[in-house]
Amino acid sequence: MMTHRLSGDVASHNISNATTPGYSRQRADLQARQPWLSMVGPMGTGVKAVGIDRIQDGLLFQRLMDAGSDSGFGSSKVAVLQAAQTVVGIGDDDPVAASMNSFFQAMEDLSANPSGMAERQQVLDKAAQLGTTMAQVRDELDGIRKDLDAQLTGVVDEIQGRLDEIAVLNKEVRLTEASGGQANDLRDRRELLAREVADRIGAKIFSDDDGNLNLMLNAGGTLVEGDTASHLELQPNPSNGGLLDPVVVSGAGVRTVLDSSISGQLGGLLSSRDKELAKSILDLDTLAFEVAGQVNAIHQTGFGLDGVSGRNLFSNIAVVDGAASNLTVDAAVLGQPDAVAAAQNAGALPGDNRIALAMAALAQSDTMSGGTRTFSEYLLASESDLGAGLQNAQRDAQLHADRLSQLSSMRESVSGVSIDEEMVELTKAQRAFEAAAKVIKTGDELLETIMGLK
């Protein structure tokens, strides 16, 4: 009777946890008792429960961890690159392309009327607008990179909390099972946490004979071993603008700095920050550096209406890094339209337009990427690279999300709870309990009858 009651209790426990995340269906493991030798041979002595089995597939569990890691990487990367593409813009929504086109159009207008003060002022205005637009786009892209540090902090905290709990659960599982108890629910909770860790950082499991669930990074390095969890922290990287890098500190004090090669959400954030976003910023800086340098090189050779030569149109930019933030109109011409050089020969003033034509012609000249692209083509290629990165990330994210969904369905078919099935099991246990009770009652009545015989 107690055995069948246990079977009923297990079925009830399954029904109660039908919607509990990570729960694995359980089943009482029943065996026939050792028979005793009667006058007519071995005679059965009933049933006994030898344990409560946890229904699960270890291989499927690791595949779920891998799929969750890949899905976490893709989804976090998509979110970052979508934000970046919103800043950069596409086609008519591209602020840098629009400002650059307006600047070179102002140069063409100046070449058509080199003595016009309105055209000269327009050149200064559009040059300032180009610098402002480039600086704004760069600052927003750099702001996205810096904002990711806050996300990294949150993800690292989430990982650390789960690692610490897994270490505690390892100890509880060992103690429970060493005393002969069942730790099925503790194991379920532990595996759910392991999957959540894998979603965020990418990890593999390896068990030991003591019943521990140990975790290590896909790229190597221990996260949890026994009841010891590694410590995750963030440290500034001076070579990457002081942005934060995750560091795993093992129980033995060994420090492992993580980079964009890791998987999971953390890897997706680092990859977006240090690859696609960093490249977009570098491309923008390179464009600003080249525009300023090439326009200045021509402008210096020309003459303003005041007959003075050798002046820059843009402030001198010494290095590529940060160029987009430093593209400004040079102080020598700022607010002085007559200082804009349009003439090649001072003696041909005010009608000489050859320098203005040369600067306007830069828009169609292959001066970028080793003389193979114009300014606009270079900008378009950079934005196309970002767009391609986003499309690849979206495709991969969808692929991995579908794979994760499929594996989750497979796990549900193996370990999930079917209410209908559990009701059948509950009914079977109830009927068996009632039958056993009836047998005992019948035996008791027979015994009373026998004792009443004289």
Stretch 385-413: mean pLDDT, rounded? 93
pLDDT at 442: 77
**How far apart, in whole angstroms, are the C-alpha atoms of residue 126 and residue 118?**
12
Contacts 24+ apart (CB under 8 A), 227-234: 227/167, 227/168, 227/170, 227/171, 228/167, 229/160, 229/163, 229/164, 229/166, 229/167, 230/163, 231/160, 232/156, 232/159, 232/160, 232/163, 233/156, 234/149, 234/152, 234/153, 234/156
Q: Classify strands 213-217 and 203-207 as parallel, antiparallel or unpaired.
A: antiparallel
Give just the sign of the alpha carbon dihedral 357, 363, 365, 367.
Answer: positive
Q: Where are the domains of the chain?
A: 1-18+26-51, 62-403
Stretch 96-107: mean pLDDT, rounded? 96
pLDDT at 37: 74
Kindly tell me if the per-residue pLDDT of 252 is higher than 70: yes
pLDDT at 195: 94
Q: Quick one: pLDDT band at residue 218, thresholds 50, 70, 90?
A: confident
Mean pLDDT score of the chain, rounded to an integer? 90
Q: Classify strands 222-225 and 243-249 as parallel, antiparallel or unpaired.
A: unpaired
Residue 341's identity, in one-letter code, is A
**How far apart, in whole angstroms, are the C-alpha atoms of residue 416 and residue 142?**
46
Specify the length of the chain in residues.
454
Kindly tell me if the per-residue pLDDT of 454 is higher than 60: no
Partner residues linked to 103 by β-bridges? none
CB-side neighbour CA atoms (13 Å) of 70? 19
**How far apart, in whole angstroms, are the C-alpha atoms of residue 185 and residue 333?**
76
Q: Select from 74, 59, 78 the least CA-distant residue to 400.
A: 74
pLDDT at 146: 94
Stretch 365-381: mean pLDDT, rounded? 94
Is omega for the bond preceding 246 within 30 degrees of 0, making it cis? no
Digit-coded pLDDT (tens) for 116-152: 999 999 999 999 999 999 999 999 999 999 999 999 9
pLDDT at 381: 94
Q: What's the pTM value of the predicted model, to 2 decimals?
A: 0.86
Q: Quick one: pLDDT band at residue 50, thresholds 50, 70, 90?
A: confident
**How far apart, in whole angstroms, are the C-alpha atoms of residue 37 and residue 34?**
10
SS3 string of the chain?
Answer: CHHHHHHHHHHHHHHHCCCCCCCCCEEEEEEECCCEEECCEEECCCEEEEEEEECCCHHHHHHHHHHHHHHHHHHHHHHHHHHHHHHHCCHHHCHHHHHHHHHHHHHHHHHHCCCCHHHHHHHHHHHHHHHHHHHHHHHHHHHHHHHHHHHHHHHHHHHHHHHHHHHHHHHHHHHHHHCCCCCHHHHHHHHHHHHHHHHHHCEEEEECCCCCEEEEECCCCEEEECCEECEEEEEEEHHHCCEEEEEEECCCCCEEECCCCCCHHHHHHHHHHHHHHHHHHHHHHHHHHHHHHHHHHHHCCCECCCCCECCCCECCCCCCCCHHHCCCECCCCCCCHHHCCCECCHHHCCCCCHHHHHHHHHHHCCCECCCCECHHHHHHHHHHHHHHHHHHHHHHHHHHHHHHHHHHHHHHHHHCCCHHHHHHHHHHHHHHHHHHHHHHHHHHHHHHHHHHCC
Digit-coded pLDDT (tens) for 152-202: 999 999 999 999 999 999 999 999 988 888 899 999 999 999 999 999 999
pLDDT at 451: 75
Token pair, residue 362, equals: 């830069």
Kindly tell me if the per-residue pLDDT of 270 is higher than 70: yes
pLDDT at 445: 67
**How far apart, in whole angstroms, are the C-alpha atoms of residue 246 and residue 142?**
19
High-pLDDT (> 70) share of the chain, %: 96
